[in-house]
Amino acid sequence: MKKSDFRILVVEDDPEYQEALLLILEEEGYLGKRASSGANALELLGKGSFDLILADMMMPGMTGIELLVRMRSQGISTEVIIITGFGTIDTAVEAMKKGAFSYFIKGSNIEGLVLEIQKLYELKNLREENAYLLQQQESPYLLTTHNPEYQEMLDLLEKAASSSINILLMGPSGVGKEVIARHIHKLSPRSKGRFVAVNCQALSEQLLESELFGHEKGAFTGALERRVGRFEEAQCGTFFLDEIGEIALSTQVKLLRTLENRTIERLGSNRSIPVDMRLISATNKNLYTEVMHGRFREDLFYRINNIVAEIPPLSQRREDIDGFIKFFFNKFSQEQKKKIIEIDPAALRFLKEYDYPGNIREMKNIIERLIVLSENGVITSLGLSHTRYTDSLVHGPGPVNLRDFRSQAEREHIRSILLKCKGNQAMAAQMLGITRRQLYNKKVEYGLD
Ligand SMILES: Nc1ncnc2c1ncn2[C@@H]1O[C@H](COP(=O)(O)OP(=O)(O)OP(=O)(O)O)[C@@H](O)[C@H]1O
């Protein structure tokens, strides 16, 4: 978390003292907000969250301690530092017994208070980091295969994991490029650092640059605060650049410079900041063709592809389909606490025989849906009614060729999700597991507006 996002509420009835505290917080880079009384503070806490409360002890109506006690009784666990006038130390100690983080005596060296706040800020970041690590651990994938070529590719990537060379993953959408990138990170000596993922397709050129490199305050219209870029966040870790084929040529130049010099410059600054990261890029475009047509810089292409792995679509590793079916049934029946005792043979046949144009992502979505719609432990074909598949089951295969069949299934699925989300694009894209841009393209393709 950036300091400018660390929200501190100053609860103080003396406007001058409050102003002075807010000025100090601003100078230190924190986001200070004001409340004039305990009641006012509780009201603000009801509306939004804060990371720290600086509460004056002696306030009319409600003392700092009373505010603390009220907060805890309402289940608000935000840390509190009590500010007290000289002579009320006993009460301050009492406040600490009641759960305040610490206290500050008015008139003593303000550095002491600044240090306490800094401690809490660091603690907050540490907690977030732990939550992040936990979440990373909780996402198991199926990375075993019966396909010899796929196994060979995994072996190569697993070997490459121990070095810091750049890796390029190519393959259609939904084949698990990000999953593989996370796997490489986990196996690498960088696994203690962060895995930072950025999707280049989702962002405009300027936003992407400021996301990657960060910016100084005032670097462009709208840059109200200084911002640390994602490359810096990946220090000592792995950077995953998804849809790299979408990057504008001008940004490609900057990316190349970063990879060559191992440094970045924030937008609006000339200062070089060293970055130590391994880059894993992914694309569903054919980058060889992109280079040939001049849409992707050849020098950058050679920088990012020390190792290239082409991830095949699921339809080209059909021997793994059974394993994935079992894996996702287990995963979702556990997650949704729904024990499955019976699967309609027709539904199972479909799952085994389907072509999965949307690859692993599509299978995951289909099985999740089947489990959501299952009743009394029974999976029926009804859960598949969003695909054209049911027609072919009930009436026999229609006069459709495979490509039309796939498109129709995809169109129907997107349409039903859009209906379900009442047109909310962000939610629909999330449910479909694609970006908003991809959803938009699909809608245009299928005339779904
Ligand atoms: N080996 C796997 N085990 C379990 N789940 C997987 C596996 N591979 C992919 N998935 C799931 O499929 C979905 C798509 O995976 P991922 O995002 O890695 O694909 P991608 O190739 O990067 O797709 P895109 O090109 O659209 O970004 C995710 O929800 C992911 O959890």
Number of residues that make up the chain: 449
Q: What CA–CA distance (Å, rounded) separates 250 from 272?
A: 19
317: part of which helix (H) or strand (E)? none
pLDDT of residue 229: 87
Is residue 245 in contact with ligand 1, taking CB distance under 6 Å? no
Is residue 241 in contact with ligand 1, taking CB distance under 6 Å? no
Residue 240, both tokens: 């995953």
Atom of ligand 1 nearest to the CA of 171: 21
Residue 445, both tokens: 């393709």
- Among 145, 284, 361, 369, which residue has the most ligand 1 atoms within 8 Å of its CB, making it the best to mutate? 361
- ipTM passes above 0.90: yes
Long-range contacts of 416-422 (CB under 8 A, 24+ apart): 416/386, 418/443, 418/448
pTM: 0.61
Q: In the structure, what pLDDT confidence band is assigned to residue 405 with cuts at 50, 70 and 90?
A: confident
Cβ count near 90 (within 10 Å): 9
Q: What CA–CA distance (Å, rounded) separates 282 from 43?
A: 47
Q: For 254-306, what is each residue's pLDDT tens digit?
A: 999 999 999 998 888 888 889 999 999 999 999 999 999 999 999 999 999 99
Question: Domains in the chain, please, with CATH?
Answer: 3-134 (3.40.50.2300), 149-312 (3.40.50.300), 315-446 (1.10.8.60)
Percentage of the chain lying above the pLDDT 70 cut: 91
Cβ count near 287 (within 10 Å): 20
Write the burial class of residue 54 (CB in 10 Å: 0-12 exposed, 13-18 middle, 19+ buried).
Answer: buried
Q: For 306-343, what is each residue's pLDDT tens digit?
A: 999 999 999 999 999 999 999 999 999 988 888 888 88
Atom of ligand 1 nearest to the CA of 363: 12
Distance 85 CA to ligand 1 centre (A): 58
Contact by Cβ (8 Å): 223, 216: yes
